[in-house]
Amino acid sequence: MAQFDIHRNPGRLRETVPFVVIVQSAMFDRYNRRLVVPLIKASNLATSLKQKDSREFPMFIVDGVRVVLQPLDMASVPVHALGEQIGSLAEHGIRVTDALDAVLTRSWG
């Protein structure tokens, strides 16, 4: 399991949140948990958000599905709770990191 790997969401919200992406660095690989951010189906968002790719909520196509990163809902989950790994957002890592930075930055107060 690597940073930016995409996993299927086997949980009860999988229809709305079909995937999660691992965001923690390899420095924490020895732990049996992963910090993940949900990838929500864009079709489940308000119309104004469906078509707007932003720094805070970037859009991606994963397994043919348009999804939006939802950094406000990141969570730590046990490794065994992750579904099948189906891809990676490594080539878009800076966009994922920028979204997390927007949540965590102190520049806005």
The pLDDT score that the predictor gives to residue 44 is 85
* Residue 27 in this model has a pLDDT that exceeds 60: yes
The pLDDT score that the predictor gives to residue 10 is 95
State mean pLDDT over 69-98: 96
Residue with tokens 């806005």: 108
Per cent of the chain over pLDDT 90 is: 79
* Residue 96 in this model has a pLDDT that exceeds 80: yes
Cβ atoms < 10 Å from Cβ of 34: 23
State mean pLDDT over 8-20: 96
Per cent of the chain over pLDDT 70 is: 90
CA distance 63 to 90: 15
Token readout for 47 is: 């119309």
Are residues 8 and 92 in contact, defined by beta-carbon separation less than 8 angstroms?
no
* Residue 13 in this model has a pLDDT that exceeds 90: yes
The pLDDT score that the predictor gives to residue 55 is 86
The pLDDT confidence band at residue 45, using thresholds 50, 70 and 90, is: confident
